Structure formats: structure tokens, C-alpha cells
Structure 1
């Protein structure tokens, strides 16, 4: 009999598989598509520590950092460990970052430094000197999800002995059993990591969480000027989105300023993120639209606004080479839920877009709980 039957091969499913397999347990993972296609491969690949709010999310992000480093080494995918840069365009954004560094960063142990003046001007040959400051999140990491997730699958299968069943739909679960399109499988623990699919499995307990789906417009582009970007980039708009900053008094002032001068950015949930790929391109986004389903229709105007923000931040023109929709689970009672539905049946769901940042450690702690280990 298998020890763990895991439904879903996104970052939460793979993290659970790793946590169980590294303990020497027998693990099977079931994924309805031929390869992971959900939130875990559509994202920026930013594993951010600096953006997480103080408390459990910051702790999980810190703990996940070392797991990502281990995976990168053993699975053989590229991982940038030189941090992120959060760019301040205005005096208000600069004041916000200075206040964060002086107070919250010190109190809660964020590993950050504020770059200004010569230190800022020295970045990328002065390409970012039109900003007022840059918060360097030294613990932040970045990977290329499209390559890292398949590499992690290969590592789990080839080295740790995890058995994968792709193109396999799980349509029923019961204590000790999953029923799939490839047959019935038995196991001690069933863990459902179903992403934003709230109806195929455990529909009733998941519905009680009142979850939503967040849909994002995303772009891949190449710079039309010399730029060898090696950091993940954020801007002051991200201070309205990430919990490390969003409740600070100056963040409320920044929100009021944006609402007065660029209300369309708040209306469409736009805050600029840029991630370099290993191939000299840039992943750019994103917007946020919430609901019970993800609309299939993109708005060209939203892409135009994001391109304008990106060109302003980078100080040069870009050429879009690909567009897609990101999607992740949202809503819920908090940033994530761990549900014990019945003996031997549990679920792990993210309700925010930071699964790459906290998922590895979250799964580690969940598996430890299921095995009644002392955490």
C-alpha cells in the first residue's frame, strides 16, 4: 500500500510529495493534465520573503528558502539567489520604504537594504537611476517556473521514487482510497492539492471556505535595449499588494494617491512585477480580477497599461512575444487552508498568489502534522 496519495502536481502537491518521500515514504501523485499547467507554471517564479507579512507567512517563506536551494541543487534548475529590487518612483514610495526599513524590517528581521544615491545609480550601468530608491530584498529568490517545475517532477520520480500518474483524473476519494480514470489506488493518507478547482473533489467542505478564483493578465517580452536583468523587480505599487507593507500608514497614503491620479490601476489590480528568464526575456504583469470563474477574455488596455509601466520602470522599450492568463485560488478565510476532512483525508489550498514563496515549508509542516510528528 502507498503511504501518501496526492492529488495535484502543482507546487503544493509536489511539495507534499517531497516532504513525504524524503521521509522514506511511498508516494503517488495524480495530475489530470499531461504536465502541470496551472498557477505553478504560469507565474513569475518569485519566491519572495521580503513581501510576506510578519508572522506565519514570513516564517513559512523563510523556511521555504532553503528548500528551494536544495531542490535547485539536486533537480538541476536555475535559481537566482541575489534578491529582488522594489523600485520607488515617487517621494511617497521612497518614504514608505524608508519607514519600512527603519521600523518593521528591524522589528521582524527582514533581510533588506535600501539602495539610494550612488548605490542605486550603479545598478545595471545606471539603467535604474530614474528611480528614487530601491529596496533590495536579500533573501528573495527567483526561478523560471516552466523549467523548474518539470525538473522537480523528474527529481522526485527519478531520485526519490515518487510515482506520477499524469493525464489521470481523480473523480472520487474515500478514506484509504482514490478512484481515478486509471483505476483505484489505496493509501494511508490522501492529500488533495487541487488549486482553484473547487468542485471536482471535496466540494462541500471547500465551498464552506467561500473561495474565489483570481485571474491575471501576463506577458513575456524581450527588451529592445541592452539589459542583462538578474533581479526580480517590483515597484511601489506592490506595496499595496504585499502584506509586508500594505497595512503601513504610508501605504494608505499611497493608495489614496494612486486612487486620485491612476484609479484604473486599482480598478484592475495592476501592480508591476518583472522577472527575468534564463533566456534573456522578461515575464511582466500583472492584473487581478476576482470571481467564481476565470473569464477567458483579456483586455488589451490592461496589457497596454502594464507595458507602459514596465517601460517606465526599465527605462527602455520592450517587445511582447507571448501573452497568457495566470490563475490562482483566492478568497478564503486566510492566505491558505489546511483541511482535515476525514480520517486520512486532508486538503491543502492556497488563497493567495504566494504558493511559490511559502508552499514548500507549508507542505513540510502539513506532512509532519499528518504523521503526528513533533513540530
Structure 2
């Protein structure tokens, strides 16, 4: 018998596996695909501290930062630790960042600094001087998820003894047992980390959360000019999306300005994020469409709007190399849910796109409570 049986090899499943295995417990992980293919490898790889709302989410992000550093060192994947840049393009966006730095950032201990004037001009030899300010999130980190997640799997398997069962569908969960396409397995604790799949396992308790699915359009591109980007980039549009800023009075004024001038950005949930890969490319997005299912059809116009925003922000042209959809769980009663379903059976679900930012510490706390 194992101590923990974990369903799902995304960031939440792997984080739970790590938290249990580092305590010397026997862990098995089950994943229906041959390699992780869900939200955890389709994302920007941004582990943001600066964007989290004050309170629990901010503290989880700070604690997760330490875990990411440990993983990068021991699993051998690239981790950018020099922070993020949130660029203010307009006077209202600048006002919002100044208000945040003078108020909430001081009150709640956000590790940030506001760059303006000469400090802004010095970034990347003046590449961003056409903006008004930049909020640097000092503790923000970024990985290339396509490489980091498989490396984390190898680390858990080879150094911590976690047993992985890929290409294995879990058909049924009951206290003490999993029934799978590879047979029946017994374990003292079972944790279901099934991402946005709300129907295969534990459908009834998950349905009570009224979960939804969020669908994103995303791109991988190459800059057509000299830019060795080493920071994750955001813009003032992100202030309408992230809890650290979204409830500030200045954010409401900014929303009204965008609604008046560029309503298509709000209608499609577009707020620009750009992440550099270790190979000199850029991951660019994203849009947000919510519903019970994710439509398979991308709108070219949405991609064009994101490309236009990216080129304006970067100050140069880009060449698109790849397009895909990100899909993650949304809705629910809060940013995440930890469900105690039956004796020895629980589920961990994210209802927002910040699993990379808070997932490691969230799992650490959950495993500690379970044992």
C-alpha cells in the first residue's frame, strides 16, 4: 500500500507528490496522457508574487517562490529570478501603479519598485522608454513550462522515489483504492488534482462548486529586432485582472477608459503577458473566454489584437511561430478549492490561472494537514 495516490501530473499533482515524498512517504502519481499536456505546460511559466491579492494568496506565492528555487536547483531547469516588469502605457496606468506603490505595496509588504525617468530609460538600452513607468516585481520568477514540468517529473522519480503511471486513466476513486486502466491500487490517502476535468472523477462534489472552464489564446513568437528579454512583461491591462490591483479606485477609472476606447479588449478578456523562453523566443497572450466547455475555435482577430499589443509594448515587430489554446479551471467559490470528499479522499482544484504561482505552497499546506 502507498501512503499517497495522486491523480494528475500537472503543477498541483506534482506539488502534492513533492510535499509527500520529501517527508519520506510512498507516492504514486497517475496521469491519463503519456506526458503532462494540460494547463501546466500551456502557460506563461510566470510565478508571480506581485500580482496576488493581499492575504492568503500573497503568502502562498511568497512561500512557493522558495520551493521553485529548490526545484530549479535540484531538477536542473532554468529559472529566471530577476523579476517582472509591469509597463504603464498611459497616464491612468501610471496613476494606478503610483497609488499601489504608495499604499497597498507598503501596507502588505509587496516586494516592488517603481521605475520612471532615467531608471525606465535604462531598461534594455531604452527599448521601453515609450512607456510612462514600469513596476518591477522583485520576487517574481519565470520558468519555461514545457521544459520545467518534465524536469520536475524526472526529479521526483529519480531523486525522491515517486512512482509515475502515465497513459493511465483513473476510472474510479473510493476510500483506500483507485481503479485504473493499469489495474487497482491501494493507498492511505488519495488526492485528485484533475485540472478542469470536472466529470470523470468526483463529479458530484465538484458540481457543487459550480466550476467553469477558461479558454485562452496564446502564441510563441520571435522578435524581429535585437531584444534579449530577461523579464516577464505585463501591462496596465493586467491590473484589471490581478487581485493586487483590480479593486483599487484607479483600476475602475482605467477600466472605464479602456471600455470607452478599446472595448474589444474587455469583451475578449485580453491583457498582455509576455514571457521569454530560454531559447530567445517569447510566449505571448492572452485572452479569456469562460463557459462550461472550451470552444475549439480560435478567433484570428483576437490573435491580431494581441500581436498588435505585443508589438506596441515591445517597440518592434514579432514573427509568430506557434499558436495554441490554454485551458484552466475557473468559477468556483474562490481562487482554489480543497475538498474533503470521503475518509482518505480529497481533491485540489484551481479556479484561476495562478497555479504556477501558488500551487507549490498550497500543496505543502494541504499535505501537512492530511497527515
Q: TM-score range by the shorter chain?
A: over 0.9
Q: Deviations over 1:201-249 (max 9, x none)?
A: 0000000000000000000000000000000000000000000000000
Task: Give the superposition deviation at 1:140.
Answer: 0.2
Q: Deviations over 1:88-143 (max 9, x none)?
A: 00010001000000000000000000000000000001000000000000000000
> CA separation in 1, counterparts of 2:275 and 2:119?
21
Count of aligned residue pairs for this structure pair: 371
SS of corresponding position for 1:218:
strand
> CA separation in 2, counterparts of 1:236 and 1:174?
47
Is 1:139 matched up with 2:123? no
> CA separation in 1, counterparts of 2:120 and 2:173?
54
> CA separation in 1, counterparts of 2:302 and 2:91?
26
State the match for 1:93 in structure 2: 93
> CA separation in 2, counterparts of 1:9 and 1:143?
17
Task: Give the superposition deviation at 1:335.
Answer: 0.1
State the match for 1:40 in structure 2: 40
> CA separation in 1, counterparts of 2:280 and 2:250?
35
> CA separation in 2, counterparts of 1:260 and 1:209?
34
Q: Deviations over 1:239-268 (max 9, x none)?
A: 000000000000000000000000000000
SS of corresponding position for 1:4:
strand
Q: Summarize the alignment of residues 216-231 of structure 1 with structure 2, pairs less than 5 Å apart.
A: 216-231=216-231
Task: Give the superposition deviation at 1:171.
Answer: 0.6
Q: Summarize the alignment of residues 67-78 of structure 1 with structure 2, pairs less than 5 Å apart.
A: 67-78=67-78
SS of corresponding position for 1:159:
helix
Is 1:326 matched up with 2:326? yes
> CA separation in 2, counterparts of 1:33 and 1:260?
45
Task: Give the superposition deviation at 1:161.
Answer: 0.1
State the match for 1:14 in structure 2: 14
State the match for 1:130 in structure 2: 130
> CA separation in 2, counterparts of 1:247 and 1:139?
22
Gaps of 5+ in 2: none
> CA separation in 2, counterparts of 1:354 and 1:173?
27
> CA separation in 2, counterparts of 1:142 and 1:83?
8
Q: Deviations over 1:273-303 (max 9, x none)?
A: 0000000000000000000000000000000
C-alpha RMSD of matched pairs (Å): 0.2
> CA separation in 2, counterparts of 1:208 and 1:224?
49
Scaled by the length of structure 1, what TM-score is found? 0.99
State the match for 1:156 in structure 2: 156
> CA separation in 2, counterparts of 1:154 and 1:116?
43
> CA separation in 2, counterparts of 1:271 and 1:144?
20
> CA separation in 2, counterparts of 1:129 and 1:327?
34
> CA separation in 2, counterparts of 1:357 and 1:180?
31
Task: Give the superposition deviation at 1:359.
Answer: 0.1
> CA separation in 1, counterparts of 2:204 and 2:258?
39
SS of corresponding position for 1:221:
strand
SS of corresponding position for 2:51:
coil
Q: Summarize the alignment of residues 210-359 of structure 1 with structure 2, pairs less than 5 Å apart.
A: 210-359=210-359
Q: Deviations over 1:168-224 (max 9, x none)?
A: 000101100000000000000000000000000000000000000000000000000
> CA separation in 2, counterparts of 1:112 and 1:87?
13
> CA separation in 2, counterparts of 1:132 and 1:263?
22
State the match for 2:24 in structure 1: 24
Is 1:207 matched up with 2:207? yes
Gaps of 5+ in 1: none
State the match for 2:181 in structure 1: 181
> CA separation in 2, counterparts of 1:237 and 1:173?
42
After superposing on structure 2, the runs of 4+ consecutive aligned residues of structure 1 that deviate more than 4 Å are none
